[in-house]
Amino acid sequence: MAAPVGPKKVHRYSIEFKIQAVKLSLHPEIQTQDVAHALDIHPFMLSKWKKDYRESKLKPAAAAAGLSLPKVLHAPKADLEKRALKRQVKQFQERVEARAEARRLERKLAVLQVEHDLLKKAIRFNIERRRRNSSS
């Protein structure tokens, strides 16, 4: 296979484009690879931009020239299924935790009811004792 003829094509992306790409990749439900694939850039380049953004090396320029990002990125079907399963697991864990909390509260309620009954008996006992002592 022959090597390509001519100079290597180098893309120069605007600061605004880089910042938009980074912000899009920071979305919790979208992976960096998906953003890079949708923007037709290498994931390593996007990761470098993210690092530069964290270190405040990417700052918006005054001129707003550059490429626009696509409005919607569609996650692959496997990712959607994975997220749905994670959601189900999280809901199940929340239900288990809620049931455990309910059991704990029921036990605490039972203890408090016993304490309440004991206090009522103690109050009645003291009232009767005072009556006996005052009548004698």
Give the CATH number for residue 16. Answer: 1.10.10
**Local structure of 69: helix, strand or coil:** coil
Note whether 58 and 103 are same-domain residues: no
For the segment 2-40, what is each residue's pLDDT rounded down to a tens digit? Answer: 566 666 666 788 888 888 888 888 887 778 888 888 888
The pTM (predicted TM-score) of the whole model is 0.40
pLDDT of residue 31: 81
Least confident of 2-6, 57-61, 103-107: 2-6
Evaluate whether residue 55 is within a structural domain.
yes
Q: In terms of residue numbers, what domain contains 130? A: 76-136
Domain count, the chain: 2
41 in Cβ contact with 69 (< 8 Å): no
